Structure 1
């Protein structure tokens, strides 16, 4: 019998992960059954269990991937020199998040933010995923501290606020947008950018 190529095995594993991710984004990790996943990917139970021992293993694999993908987007954005203003930079990050996994778009809506929220929730019940999340967040925060320091050195941002505090806030803006998008869907990136510009232009009344 001919051996199955590694390329074929990798493609099949990718098919399972992508189909399961879409199921989980639609209905959540725990309301989705393995039968739902099998139906989505169009494979037999034996074919899927060859790669994943069960749903928990599938959840862990998808959650780890999501965290890695998000870290990659933040890291790439942080390497821009000089960095664009915060409203532009955060807009770029959010656009890339929405463009991740084109197969997770239905009716023009990206399901990826919904998957992000599911992953965040899952880290609250899984020590292993919590450790991964903590490591990713520390790396992202460190990268964005360097962005804030570049703003401060260029005279674009006040220097009396610790760079780490600003970096945490910028990350929180992206997280908050993802949560709003997952909940309400009609939220637009341009609205967030407009809001940031208005907030950063405030002056104390004389």
Structure 2
């Protein structure tokens, strides 16, 4: 029997993850069964279980795949020279998140909320997310340092504190967009700029 190519293997993993994300949004993480995902994927049970032997492993893969994919898209914004202004950075990052998470038949922003909830009971998932978010916050602190060197922000507030506030804005965008649906990057950038520029 011929071996499956790496490209075909990656395509099957993606097919299973797409089915899982769709089921997770429709039914929630706990109500979704492996049978639901198998049916939605169009693959055999053996094929699905050969890639993801349990729902927990599939949930972990769904989270890490989405976080890794989004991180790769945001990294060029973080590395831009010269760095974008704080309000423009928020605009660019939230637009990137919106574009990455809007999928055909489901929205990864809504699934992110399910993942955050699941992380409260799943220690391994929480530690995985913690690693991603700590690394991202560290990159935000580096960016704040670049802003400081460029004279875009003051020096009175520690860089880590500013990074935490910036991360709250970005994760808050995910929550508001998933639940309220009436927020976009331009609105957040405008609001952030309003705090930075008090009127006379």
TM, length-normalised to structure 1:
0.87
Alignment of 1:45-84 (within 5 A): 45-84=45-84
| Partner of residue 42, structure 1 | 42
Distance in 1 of aligned mates of 2:23 and 2:8: 23
Cα-to-partner distance string for 1:56-114 (whole Å, 9 max, x where unaligned): 11111111222323433443321112211111101111111122166x234xxx60211
Q: How many residues align structurally?
A: 200
1:187 corresponds to 2:183: yes
Mean Cα deviation higher: 185-194 or 137-146: 185-194
Mean Cα deviation higher: 37-46 or 167-176: 37-46
1:128 corresponds to 2:127: no
Distance in 2 of aligned mates of 1:137 and 1:4: 35
Aligned-residue Cα RMSD (Å) equals 2.0
Q: 2:135 aligns with which of 139, 153, 166?
A: 139
> Measured at CA, do residues 70 and 120 of structure 1 come closer, stay the same or move farther in structure 2, by a change above 3 Å?
farther
Q: 2:150 aligns with which of 146, 150, 154?
A: 154
| Partner of residue 27, structure 1 | 27
Cα-to-partner distance string for 1:10-64 (whole Å, 9 max, x where unaligned): 2112110122122213332112122221232122222211211121111111112
SS in 2 for 1:62: helix
Mean Cα deviation higher: 55-64 or 45-54: 45-54
TM, length-normalised to structure 2:
0.89
Distance in 2 of aligned mates of 1:157 and 1:5: 50
Distance in 1 of aligned mates of 2:6 and 2:84: 42
SS in 1 for 2:153: coil
Gaps of 5+ in 2: none
Gaps of 5+ in 1: none
| Partner of residue 89, structure 1 | 89
For the 8 Å contact 2:88–2:189, the answer to whether it is kept is: yes
